[in-house]
Amino acid sequence: MVDIDPSTLWIPFFAGMTIGLCKRPFPGMMRGFALTSYRAKFGTRVIGLIAMNHRENALPMGKVVMLQGTGSSVGKSLLVTGFCRVFAQDGYRVAPFKAQNMSRNSGVTPDGLEIGRAQVAQAHAAGIEPEVEMNPVLVKPEGNATAQLVSMGKMAGKLQAYEYMTRREVLWQNIKDSLDSLRSRFDIVVIEGAGSPAEINLRAGDIVNMAVALYADAPVFIIGDIDKGGVFASLYGTNALISDEERALVKGFIINKFRGDASLLSSGLDQLRELTGVDVIGVVPYFTDVYVPEEDAPVKARRSDSYSGDDRVEIAVIGLPRIANFDEFDPLARIGGVRLRYVREASEFGNPDLVILPGSKVTVADLEFVRSSGIESKIRRHLWDGRALMGICAGLQMLGNTIRDPLGIESDRPEVRSLGILDVDTEFVGEKVTVRTDASVVADSGLLAGASGVKVSGYEIHVGVSESGGGATRSMVSMQRDRTVGYSDATGRVFGTYMHDLFKNEEFTERVVNNLARMKGIEGLAESEPFSQDAEFDKLAAYLRCHIDFAAVYGSMGLPS
- If you average pLDDT over each of 222-236, 305-319, 459-473, which comes out highest? 222-236
φ, ψ of residue 445 in degrees (nearest 5): -150, 165
Of 410, 367, 397, 429, give the one whose Cα is nearest residue 142: 410
**Among 391, 317, 331, which residue's Cα sits nearest to residue 526?**
331
Q: What share of the chain in percent tops pLDDT 70?
A: 85
Span 76-87, average pLDDT: 98
pLDDT for residue 35: 27
Total length of the chain: 561
In the sheet with 188-192, reading across from the earlier edge strand, the strands are 94-97, 188-192, 63-69, 220-225, 250-258, 280-285
Q: What's the Rg (C-alpha) of the chain?
A: 24
* pLDDT tens by residue, 251-271: 999 999 999 888 889 999 999
In the chain, where the domains are located: 6-98+185-291+535-556, 299-530
Domains 6-98+185-291+535-556 and 299-530 alike in fold: yes
Indicate the pLDDT class of residue 22, thresholds 50, 70 and 90.
low
Of the two residues 416 and 525, the one the predictor is more confident about is 416
Strand order in the sheet with 100-102: 100-102, 137-141, 146-151, 154-160
Q: What per-residue confidence (pLDDT) applies to 37?
A: 32
The model's confidence at residue 142, banded by pLDDT at 50, 70 and 90, is confident
- The yes-or-no verdict on residue 490 having pLDDT over 80 is yes
Three-state DSSP at 484 gives: strand
Q: What is the pLDDT of residue 526?
A: 54
Q: What is the pLDDT of residue 385?
A: 95
Q: In this model, does residue 90 exceed pLDDT 60? A: yes
CATH topology of domain 6-98+185-291+535-556: Rossmann fold (3.40.50)
The burial class, CB within 10 Å (0-12 / 13-18 / 19+), for 346 is middle
Question: Is residue 124 annotated as a catalytic residue, yes or no?
Answer: no
Q: Determine the longest span between alpha carbons in the chain, in angstroms.
A: 73
Instruction: Decide if 429 contacts 380 (C-beta within 8 A).
Output: no
- Sign of the Cα torsion 112, 76, 325, 285 reads negative
CATH of the domain spanning 299-530: 3.40.50.880
Summary mean pLDDT of the chain = 86
Which one of 84, 124, 382, 393 is the catalytic residue?
Answer: 393
Using CB atoms within 10 A of its CB, is residue 406 exposed (0-12), middle (13-18) or buried (19+)? exposed
Task: Decide if pLDDT at 30 tops 60.
Answer: no
Question: What is the per-residue pLDDT across 110-139, written as a single tens digit (0 to 9) for each?
Answer: 999 999 999 999 999 999 999 999 999 999
Nearest to 84 by CA among 535, 551, 538, 532: 538
SS3 of 21-57: the string is: HCCCCCCCCCCCCCHHHHHHHHCCCCCHHHHHCCCCC
Whether pLDDT at 48 is above 80: no
Q: Which segment of 18-22, 358-362, 410-414 scores lowest on mean pLDDT?
A: 18-22
Q: Which of 124, 382, 462, 500 is catalytic?
A: 500
Give the pLDDT confidence of 384-435 residue by residue, as tens digits. Answer: 999 999 999 999 999 999 999 998 888 888 999 999 999 999 999 978 899 9
Which residues make Cβ contacts (< 8 Å) with residue 29, sequence separation at least 6? 22, 545, 548, 549, 550, 551
Give the residue-averaged pLDDT of 539-549: 97
- Whether 393 is catalytic: yes
